[in-house]
Structure formats: C-alpha cells, structure tokens
Amino acid sequence: MDQAMGHLFSAALRTAAHYRIADHLAEGPRTAEQLAVATDTHAPHLRRVLRYLAARGIFREDASGAYQLTPAARPLRTDVPDSLHPAVMLITDELLLRTSALMPETVREGGAAFERVFGTPFFAHLGSDPDRRQLFDSGMSALSGPVDEAVVAAYPFPETGTVVDVGGGRGGLLRAALRRHPQLTGVLFDQPPPLAHHLLDGDELKGRWRTEEGDFFASVPEGGDVYVLKHVLHDWPDEDCRRILRTCRGAMVRGSRLLIVDCVLAPGNAPHFGKTMDVAMMALLDGQERTAEEFATLLSAGGFRLTRVLPTAAFPSIVEAVAD
C-alpha cells in the first residue's frame, strides 16, 4: 500500500522543493513553525509533510522538533553544484503526472500518453510554451550533471580532435570532456532554446568550442572525430532513431566514433533506474530504453557496428559504435 501511494511522496517532495525547504535549512535546524514563517505556509500542514519526508530519509526531525538536512535532502538545495532541484521540479510537474495517470490507456492502445492529454507531441508542446521549455532544459541539465562527469571518467576520449555533441542541450557533457582533455575542441549542436543557456563560457574553454543550431533529423555538423548522442535515442521509436543515426553516419569521416549515452537494460529482475526511465519514455514520447542487443540491431540499420558497451558510475552506459 505504501508503494501504491507513491504519488503522495512525489507530491510531498515537490512541495519541499517548491518552497525551497532545503535552502532554509542550510544554516541549521529549524522547526516547522519557523519554516512556515519563512515560506509563508500553514505550519501544521507543513509539519505533516516534513514528517512524511523524514520517514523516507528526506530531512530529519530531532528531539526538539526541529528539522535538519540529511544527505538525501542536500541535493534539493538550489545553491550547491550538484543540485537536483530543477530535476525534481521537472519530474514532479503535471507534464509527467497527468501523463502517467493515463498509463492503462497507453498500454491498451500504444503510442504516447502525452499527446492524448495535451493534444500535441511532447517536444511540440515545449516549443509553444517557453516556461515549460525552460523547466525542461534546466531539469535535464541538473539530471545530467552527475552523468556528464561519469561519462568522461569512463570513456577514453582522444587527446586531440573534435567532439560533436548532437542534441547536447546546454552542453554539460561537452564542457566536462573539454575540461578533462585540454587539446580537444567541440561543437554543441541543438535547437535555439537550450543553446541560449549553454554552459561553455569561461576562460579555460575559450576558443575551443562553437554552437550550431539545427535539426538532427536533417543534418549534423560534419568532420567530427567523436559524435555523442546523450539521452537522445531513448526519446524516439526505432524508425526515428534510424533516421538520426543515418544523419550522423552521413556527417562522419572514416575512423570517427559514435557514442550513445543511454541506459542499457540488463535481463532479469534486478532494479535499475533505466526501467523507470523506460516507462517514462513510453508515456511521454513513445520512446524507450534498450538492451545491448536492441542497440546493436538499431546501429546496424543505421550504418554502424557496435564495438563495446562501457558502464559508468551513473545510471546510463556508453554504447560505442563505428561506421560499418
């Protein structure tokens, strides 16, 4: 029954993030009454939400009735480098909540639930709503932060050459790769909204990158040594993925490599965040997470050969491929 009521935990977590409770606790424990004054909320109700979250390890109530941060609550702060606050606000937004509520219909009929709820495909909806686009871009950037560092630590990027980050959002992965390999250059390729808030400014990267706007279904920048698709293919069904892969293949030169950074699902019943992501992709986008065998089949149809799959310290793996 506790698992069946999991939507209440998401709502409580969103409430804490919305009122920035973790920020208010950064300087020390505070009671629910003190927090209510600081957040202009109803103290008895706030205390009940905090008590519920504390039972799940988010915050802790001490003997005096004051609440304090826990390691699990720290990423809810907005002022820490590894903040997950934007990601929590995205994941608990009605974009996902209303969509997941239609899962029975999605399983019966196929396709993405999002379009049934909102009347338009997910990315088209974001294109018509700048605030939601900002929510999505900031949330994905926060969710990707730990992934970016894990990927560049796990993969032997070349010391020189050009990395083309296809659909790279704000460029967190490209920034991490360029920082770790000072002779590399990079191209951040995406649509205008995320590029407008890219993360590549700074003296240490000066002169080593450029941004380029475009549609990866039509073309991608040519001549790169490493092409990266991070959290791109899981957004799309197989036929669209084949189109993206063929576009990348047409831009690549002999010897260049393709890296797909996505969850790689293992057989069996072991828990994996990728299985959660897979159901989310089904509801939002008619996309999916894939097994290594499914990636190999997809890559072969796109003109590639899978060479290896590397795990990372985060939830996705790195699927490396070369032009066939």
Query: Catalytic positions, please?
Result: 234
Angle subtended at Cα 164 by Cα 160 and Cα 169, rounded to the nearest 5 degrees: 130
Q: Which residue, chain included where needed, has tokens 């920035």? A: 20
CA pair distance 163, 319, nearest whole angstrom? 16
Count of CA atoms in the C-beta half-sphere (13 A) of 198: 26
CA pair distance 227, 167, nearest whole angstrom? 10
Residues with Cβ within 8 Å of 84's Cβ and at least 6 positions away in sequence, in order, are 75, 76, 142, 143
Give me the phi and psi of 80, to 5 degrees please.
Answer: -110, 150
Angle subtended at Cα 248 by Cα 316 and Cα 87, rounded to the nearest 5 degrees: 35
DSSP SS3 for 197: coil
